[in-house]
């Protein structure tokens, strides 16, 4: 987290910061602060001290005066503290470093981030450029032979093919539908699932899609129950185990989640889902990943700047399997690389370090749900496509799902300067860096 | 609806699970059936009223909340 640190150095140091004829640097004010990455580019700023002839510095109904005298004024410097150490470091700094008078948040004050109702930022061809998709394909990473399960509301293959300008492969035999939903893979109405399929094909156009329309299920007047996802994953487990053990490649993209705690048992109850790794869906997620599947979940659209109106969790909004330690939780950035305001922030409920990373969203794309492919719903399949592209030449036997997640963490384009943070995770997914890392692995294996 | 988790041999059927739990055919969703989530561990979908009658000695009861797509 970025912070402003208020210091009270010796009056002569403050005097030089105040002096417009002197250009002070951070090192002139403070040598080092433990646990803080000081921003050397930030020129220290002198801040006056409120004073009152009555001794009551900031009494209401009294207009304060301010003193910029070196013995009164303080100096602000800027830095960054790792999210995980924030509370401890802040307390330690204030208590153990004599010059530190306070540690304050330094939030971004840029224009409002991209929100749900905003128009598209860039288009799908720009996303392909940002993903360096053409470099992926020329290196043989185009998704051919890789199964990508779109667990959503069904795919309309004709619509996607028309938008992309090339054929789309749907594997009807390995697709599945929940009880009460006709099994017509690739022929469902154009909707959210078609957007997800389109976005997965941006990086992996030759992937084979498995159509898993769990969100079309209807039970007791409710669309889509978690039990449908349990049954879908049992099917995917069979699909995966039917693949030869040395060439397994199954990517599972999930752009859905639990928005409200109202239909769940409360955290702490043994039947709870949101916080409970023992819930059957969380168990089967771990089981499928353990068998070799790469599972991706959208982080959710409950970011603090502009949450979806359905968001019912007050804090820790990445819940249930979306925060599972064995999945890749995907947040969203627009094509400018800025986090979209609705992208859920960590920590997650099942695993602290969520989201894992971010991928592109909010661009003009499939035209399946409106002008823009929005939400972390779009970011998740964009990342799934990159994973499928990697899997073209690396089966789960060669690179386990856990190893692949580590590779994605390590190569992500860090959006802060201290590694992981709860807004962007490890950063924005970065296919050129992934290719470079795979190339290094190839060379070391050949040597 | 609720999810009931039981421990039965891999070849067990929904009828076996209902017998173990003391439930009738009407209590469960027959189209859903008995779904294996891990070796020897299965789930079935039952009404919430039936879930309340199930003995915790034989089974674990879990929530089956609504899930929704995320839109921006």
Looking at residue A113, its pLDDT comes to 78
Per the CB < 8 Å rule, is A225 touching B65? yes
pLDDT at A73 over 70: yes
Residues of chain B found within 8 Å of residue A230, distances taken between Cβ atoms: 3, 35, 37, 43
Closest approach of A131 to chain B, Cα-based (Å):
21
- Interface with B, mutate which of A115, A263, A280, A360 (most B CBs under 10 A): A280
CATH of the domain at A384: 3.40.50.200
More confident residue, A108 or A297: A297
Residues A152, A93, single domain; the answer is: no
In a domain, A117, yes or no: no
Looking at residue A110, its pLDDT comes to 46
Residues of chain A found within 8 Å of residue B63, distances taken between Cβ atoms: 226, 263-265, 271-273, 279
Looking at residue B28, its pLDDT comes to 97
Say if B7 is an interface residue toward chain A (CB within 8 Å).
Answer: no
Looking at residue A89, its pLDDT comes to 85
Residues A92, A33, single domain; the answer is: yes
Looking at residue A12, its pLDDT comes to 93
- Minimum mean pLDDT range among A194-198, A368-372, A431-435, B52-56: B52-56
Residues A49, A160, single domain; the answer is: no
pLDDT at A58 over 60: no
Nearest-Cα residue of chain B relative to residue A195:
B71
Last residue of a domain, one of A51, A78, A105: A105
How does the average pLDDT of chain A come out, rounded? 92
Residue A186 · residue A156 · CB < 8 Å: yes
In a domain, B54, yes or no: yes
Residues of chain A found within 8 Å of residue B27, distances taken between Cβ atoms: none
Residues of chain B found within 8 Å of residue A279, distances taken between Cβ atoms: 62-63
Q: pLDDT tens, A86-133?
A: 888 888 888 888 889 888 877 655 456 789 889 999 999 999 999 999
In a domain, B69, yes or no: no
pLDDT at A219 over 80: no
Residues of chain B found within 8 Å of residue A264, distances taken between Cβ atoms: 63, 65
Residues of chain B found within 8 Å of residue A214, distances taken between Cβ atoms: 67
Residues A130, A279, single domain; the answer is: yes
Mean pLDDT of the region A26-50: 87
Residues of chain A found within 8 Å of residue B10, distances taken between Cβ atoms: none
Per the CB < 8 Å rule, is A234 touching B32? no
Mean pLDDT of the region A428-436: 98
Of the candidates A180, A256, A272, the beta carbon closest to that of B68 is on A256
Q: What's the alpha-carbon Rg for chain A, to the nearest Å?
A: 25
How does the average pLDDT of chain B come out, rounded? 93
Phi, psi of A353 (to 5 degrees): -85, 75
Residues A332, A236, single domain; the answer is: yes
| Confidence band of A60 (pLDDT split at 50, 70, 90) | low
| Confidence band of A149 (pLDDT split at 50, 70, 90) | very high
Closest approach of B49 to chain A, Cα-based (Å):
14
Residue A95, burial from CB neighbour count under 10 angstroms (0-12, 13-18, 19+) = exposed
Per the CB < 8 Å rule, is A377 touching B29? no
Looking at residue A230, its pLDDT comes to 96
Residues near A357 by beta carbon (within 8 Å), at least 6 away in sequence: A328, A330, A331, A383, A408, A409, A412, A424, A425, A426, A427, A428, A429
Of the candidates A222, A223, A301, the beta carbon closest to that of B72 is on A301
Closest approach of A226 to chain B, Cα-based (Å):
5
Range of the domain at B34: 2-63
Q: What is the ipTM of this complex?
A: 0.91
Q: pLDDT tens, A331-364?
A: 999 999 999 999 999 999 999 999 999 999 999 9
Mean pLDDT of the region A260-285: 95
Mean pLDDT of the region A171-175: 98
Looking at residue A57, its pLDDT comes to 53
pLDDT at A223 over 60: yes
- Minimum mean pLDDT range among A85-94, A304-313, A348-357, A386-395: A85-94
More confident residue, A187 or A47: A187
Residue A318 · residue A358 · CB < 8 Å: no
Residue B1 · residue B18 · CB < 8 Å: no
Residues of chain B found within 8 Å of residue A271, distances taken between Cβ atoms: 2, 60-63
Range of the domain at A181: 124-446
Residues A54, A134, single domain; the answer is: no
Domain count of the fold of chain B: 1
| Confidence band of A323 (pLDDT split at 50, 70, 90) | very high
Looking at residue A2, its pLDDT comes to 76
Looking at residue A62, its pLDDT comes to 64
In a domain, B68, yes or no: no
Per the CB < 8 Å rule, is B63 touching A265? yes
Residue A441, burial from CB neighbour count under 10 angstroms (0-12, 13-18, 19+) = middle
- Minimum mean pLDDT range among A7-11, A100-104, A285-289, B64-68: A100-104
Residues A93, A141, single domain; the answer is: no
Say if B65 is an interface residue toward chain A (CB within 8 Å).
Answer: yes
Closest CA to A307 of A109, A113, A111: A113
Looking at residue A252, its pLDDT comes to 98
Closest approach of A225 to chain B, Cα-based (Å):
5
Residues A42, A92, single domain; the answer is: yes
More confident residue, A216 or A31: A216
Residues of chain B found within 8 Å of residue A233, distances taken between Cβ atoms: 37
More confident residue, A258 or A66: A258
Which two tokens mark B26? 């009407």
Looking at residue A104, its pLDDT comes to 85
Last residue of a domain, one of A51, A72, A105: A105
Of the candidates A272, A361, A377, the beta carbon closest to that of B63 is on A272
Per the CB < 8 Å rule, is B5 touching A280? yes
| Confidence band of A55 (pLDDT split at 50, 70, 90) | low
Residues of chain A found within 8 Å of residue B1, distances taken between Cβ atoms: 219-220, 225, 227
Which two tokens mark A332? 């969203």
pLDDT at A64 over 70: no
Say if B45 is an interface residue toward chain A (CB within 8 Å).
Answer: yes
Nearest-Cα residue of chain A relative to residue B2:
A227
Looking at residue A111, its pLDDT comes to 54
Looking at residue A427, its pLDDT comes to 98
Residues linked to residue B66 through DSSP beta bridges, in sequence order: A225
Mean pLDDT of the region A55-80: 77
Say if B10 is an interface residue toward chain A (CB within 8 Å).
Answer: no
Mean pLDDT of the region B56-63: 91
In a domain, A258, yes or no: yes
Residues A314, A416, single domain; the answer is: yes
Domain count of the fold of chain A: 2
Closest approach of A97 to chain B, Cα-based (Å):
44
Where are the extended beta strands (E) located within A43-200? 45-47, 49-51, 65-67, 74-80, 100-105, 147-151, 169-170
Nearest-Cα residue of chain B relative to residue A231:
B35
- Minimum mean pLDDT range among A308-312, A363-367, A443-447: A443-447
Q: How far is CA A124 from the centre of its chain?
A: 19
Residues A214, A91, single domain; the answer is: no
Of the candidates A215, A228, A362, the beta carbon closest to that of B69 is on A215
Residues A161, A74, single domain; the answer is: no
Last residue of a domain, one of A78, A105, A132: A105
In a domain, A208, yes or no: yes
In a domain, A186, yes or no: yes
Q: How far is CA B26 from the centre of its chain?
A: 13
Which two tokens mark A179? 């009880």
Nearest-Cα residue of chain B relative to residue A280:
B37
More confident residue, A52 or A49: A49
- Minimum mean pLDDT range among A53-57, A121-125, A184-188, A270-274: A53-57
């Amino acid at each position: 987290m970025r912070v402003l640190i208020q210091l009270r150095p010796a009056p002569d140091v403050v005097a030089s910061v105040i002096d417009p004829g002197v250009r002070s640097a951070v090192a002139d004010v403070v040598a080092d602060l433990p646990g803080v990455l000081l921003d050397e580019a930030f020129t220290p700023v002198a801040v006056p001290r409120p004073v009152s002839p009555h001794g009551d510095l900031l009494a209401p109904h009294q207009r304060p005066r301010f003193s910029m005298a070196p013995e009164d004024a303080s100096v602000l410097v800027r830095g960054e503290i790792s999210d995980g150490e924030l509370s401890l470091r802040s307390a330690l700094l204030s208590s153990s470093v004599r010059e530190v008078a306070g540690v304050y948040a330094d939030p971004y004050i840029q224009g409002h981030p991209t929100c749900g109702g905003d128009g598209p930022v860039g288009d799908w061809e720009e996303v392909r450029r940002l993903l360096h998709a053409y470099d992926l394909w020329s290196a043989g990473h185009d998704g051919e032979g890789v199964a990508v399960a779109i667990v959503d509301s069904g795919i309309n293959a004709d619509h996607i093919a028309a938008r992309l300008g090339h054929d789309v492969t749907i594997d009807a035999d390995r697709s599945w539908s929940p009880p009460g939903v006709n099994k017509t893979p690739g022929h469902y109405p154009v909707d959210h699932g078609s957007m997800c399929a389109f976005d997965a094909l941006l990086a992996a156009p030759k992937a084979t899609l498995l159509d898993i329309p769990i969100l079309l299920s209807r039970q007791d007047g409710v669309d889509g129950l978690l039990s449908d996802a349990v049954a879908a994953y049992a099917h995917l487990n069979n699909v995966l185990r039917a693949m030869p053990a040395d060439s397994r490649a199954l990517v599972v993209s999930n752009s859905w989640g639990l928005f409200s705690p109202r239909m769940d048992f409360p955290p702490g109850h043994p039947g709870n889902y949101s916080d409970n790794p023992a819930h059957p869906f969380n168990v089967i997620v771990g089981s499928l990943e353990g068998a070799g599947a790469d599972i991706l979940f959208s982080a959710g659209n409950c970011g603090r700047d502009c949450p979806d109106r359905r968001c019912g969790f007050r804090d820790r909004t990445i819940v249930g399997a979306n925060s599972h330690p064995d999945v890749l939780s995907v947040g969203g950035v627009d094509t400018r690389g800025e986090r979209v305001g609705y992208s859920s922030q960590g920590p997650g409920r099942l695993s602290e370090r969520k989201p894992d990373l971010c991928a592109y969203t909010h661009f003009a794309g499939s035209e399946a749900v409106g002008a823009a492919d929005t939400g972390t719903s779009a970011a998740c399949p964009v990342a799934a496509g990159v994973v499928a592209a990697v899997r073209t030449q690396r089966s789960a036997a060669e690179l386990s799902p856990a190893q692949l997640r580590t590779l994605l963490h390590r190569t992500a384009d860090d959006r802060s300067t201290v590694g992981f943070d709860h807004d962007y995770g490890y950063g924005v997914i970065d296919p050129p860096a992934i290719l470079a890392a795979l190339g290094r692995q190839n060379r070391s294996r050949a040597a | 609806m609720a999810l009931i988790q039981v421990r039965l041999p891999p070849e067990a059927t929904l009828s076996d699970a209902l017998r173990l739990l003391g439930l009738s055919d009407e209590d469960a969703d027959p189209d859903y059936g008995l779904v294996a989530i891990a070796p020897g561990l299965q789930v079935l979908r039952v009404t919430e009223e039936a879930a309340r009658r199930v003995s915790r000695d034989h089974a674990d009861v879990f929530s089956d909340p609504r899930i929704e797509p995320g839109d921006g």
